[in-house]
Amino acid sequence: MKKALSIIIALVMALSVLTTAFALEGDSVLKFNSDGKFRILHLCDCQDDFPAHQEMYDFIYKAIEDYKPDIVILGGDNTVGPKETKEQAVEELVKPFVETGTYFTMVFGNHDHQQGWSNRELFDLYVRYGGKYFLGTDEVDIVDNAPHPKSGTHYLPVYSSKDSSKVAYGLYMFDSGNYVYDENGEELGYGCVEPYQIEWYKQNREKYKDDKGNYIPAMAFQHIIVGDVYDYLYYPSSVDLGSLGRSFYGKHYTFVPRCNNFTGFLNEPPCPGYYNYGQLDAMAEKGEVKAVFSGHDHVNAFDCEIKGIHVINTPGITYHSYSSELNHGARLITLDENDTSTFTSEVLTVNGFALEDEEYAAKIKADKFKASFYETIGRILLALAKALSVFGNVIDIFVK
């Protein structure tokens, strides 16, 4: 009798564990909402130690409360500071998502690894403290001595609200590396998405097609911007201008912006990788990738269409490193299941939140006059850039 009872108890326990496992798996599936929308909150360059500035967390909680994103994507340079407090910093950073029951994932930036933790160790911290709300995986077969072990490069399918068995959209996360060095250990520049990751992407997209054989639309997220961006943001130069310009991939550029080629704020020259292995070309082959979002350049918040793909920079939300009063905040991206060929995105700013919400303004001790001033200046600068784009079209005729 006791033996039979033990078997029954064991079966019940096993069934309980199995049911819990299935429940967790089902809970972690992303899908469009009943209104056909799917919302992404892109948080870049949190870049703080432990304890982090409370103002950053006040912003994150408010953004989640107001917009109820279906997923939060941390855009790299997520935590910095001494090695001793790194684990606490990660635990603190993911707390808002766990407490609000918000799914999240992340990519690494060039600063994440600098506190003496490997990507593998860091990734495991997100798994530990994010629990079932952390959806990050590592899908690229990388050995320990590869460039970026445990890179967190992965794909997240977003399922249809009409048929939960069908993937309606895809989200790619790429580790864009950290720094590149020469044979003498001298730093050459920043990292980028590498050939093995591009090959993984090409293989992965073949798995996701609709009933008619069309590729499932997608967008990508990484820390460091794609290398093609200078051809579209700045006018070229026939010679190397040194500190008065930039040079990438054998080409030289002025600091004169091509205002007709982008919208939003271009407050500093972007910092792409030292190499460019053709990531954007690969994505343009089939046309299913609609946008590539990056952070890294804290004060930039622009949208530039290249080869049919939107290359978009999200501003930093850090209170520890540098930022801009004009666009200090994050980006909200909205997908519509009824038309997945496009999307909308908007920058959510700290000043904008302060002007809209008295309680939030008081909590972060915001100066309402200052907030209003920067919001107004921002609108004027955007209008001016739009006006200058007309002259940009004329200049382009002579440049070509």
Cα–Cα dist 282/289, whole Å: 10
- Residue 6 predicted with pLDDT over 50: no
- Residue 27 predicted with pLDDT over 80: no
Task: Supply the pLDDT for residue 140.
Answer: 77
CB 281 within 8 A of CB 274: no
To the question of domain 33-399 being in CATH 2.40.50.140, the answer is no
| Extents of the domains making up the chain | 33-399
Cα–Cα dist 186/182, whole Å: 5
Average pLDDT over residues 362-390: 92
Task: Supply the pLDDT for residue 2.
Answer: 38
Per DSSP, the residues of 316-340 read B--SSS---TTT-EEEEEEEETT-T
- Residue 1 predicted with pLDDT over 50: no
- Higher per-residue confidence, 165 vs 395: 165
Task: Supply the pLDDT for residue 396.
Answer: 65
Q: Look at strands 37-43 and 329-336 and give their pairing.
A: antiparallel
Q: Summarize pLDDT for 248-260 with one digit per residue, the tens.
A: 999 999 999 999 9
- Residue 393 predicted with pLDDT over 70: no
Average pLDDT over residues 137-146: 62
- Residue 372 predicted with pLDDT over 60: yes
Burial label for 265, CB within 10 Å (0-12, 13-18, 19+), is buried
- Residue 394 predicted with pLDDT over 90: no
Task: Supply the pLDDT for residue 105.
Answer: 98
Per DSSP, the residues of 273-300 read BS---SHHHHHHTT--EEEEEE-SSTT-
Q: Summarize pLDDT for 254-305 with one digit per residue, the tens.
A: 999 999 999 999 999 999 999 999 999 999 999 999 999 999 999 999 999 9
Going from the C-alpha of 251 to that of each of 90, 240, 279, 348, 392, the distances in angstroms are 39, 8, 18, 35, 20
CA angle, corner 236, sides to 388 and 306, nearest 5?
70
pTM above 0.85, yes or no: yes
Local confidence band at 399 (pLDDT 50, 70, 90 cut-offs):
low
Local confidence band at 147 (pLDDT 50, 70, 90 cut-offs):
low
Q: Which residues contact 358 (CB under 8 A, 6 or more apart)?
A: none
Helix or strand (DSSP H, E) at 311: strand 309-313
Q: Summarize pLDDT for 64-83 with one digit per residue, the tens.
A: 999 999 999 999 999 998 99
Q: Summarize pLDDT for 177-235 with one digit per residue, the tens.
A: 999 999 999 999 999 999 989 999 999 999 999 999 999 999 999 999 999 999 999 99
